[in-house]
């Protein structure tokens, strides 16, 4: 099945950088360590289940690692 290839044809698919995220998922809090593999990863803690806060941490890390 080549649907993904067809969907990407003609689009710029250049990877500018990578973002790695390590998760420690606890009952009360989730710890995230986003990093780009060049600088030391940052460490953030959000309330367990708060996916909006988790998405915000990842979005900020992406913006920082991909100027």
For residue 5, being part of any structural domain is answered with no
For residue 53, being part of any structural domain is answered with yes
Rounded CA gap, 58 and 42, in Å? 11
Neighbour order of strands in the sheet with 44-47 = 20-25, 29-35, 44-47
Task: With H, G, I as helix, E, B as strand and everything else as coil, classify residue 67.
Answer: coil
Element housing 54 (H / E) = helix 51-65
Q: Domain residues for 33?
A: 16-65
pLDDT per position as a tens digit, 27-66: 999 999 999 888 888 899 999 999 999 999 999 998 876 6
For residue 11, being part of any structural domain is answered with no
For residue 7, being part of any structural domain is answered with no
pLDDT at position 14 over 70: no
Total number of domains constituting the chain: 1
- Residue 49: C-alpha distances to residues 7, 8, 11, 25 (Å): 33, 33, 35, 9
Q: What is the pTM of this model?
A: 0.68
């Amino acid at each position: 099945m080549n649907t993904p290839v067809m969907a990407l044809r003609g689009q710029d698919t250049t990877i500018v950088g990578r973002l790695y995220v390590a998760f420690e998922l606890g009952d009360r809090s989730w710890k995230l360590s986003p990093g780009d593999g060049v600088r030391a990863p940052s460490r953030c803690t959000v309330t367990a289940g708060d996916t909006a806060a988790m998405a915000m941490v990842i979005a900020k890390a992406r913006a920082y690692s991909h100027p």
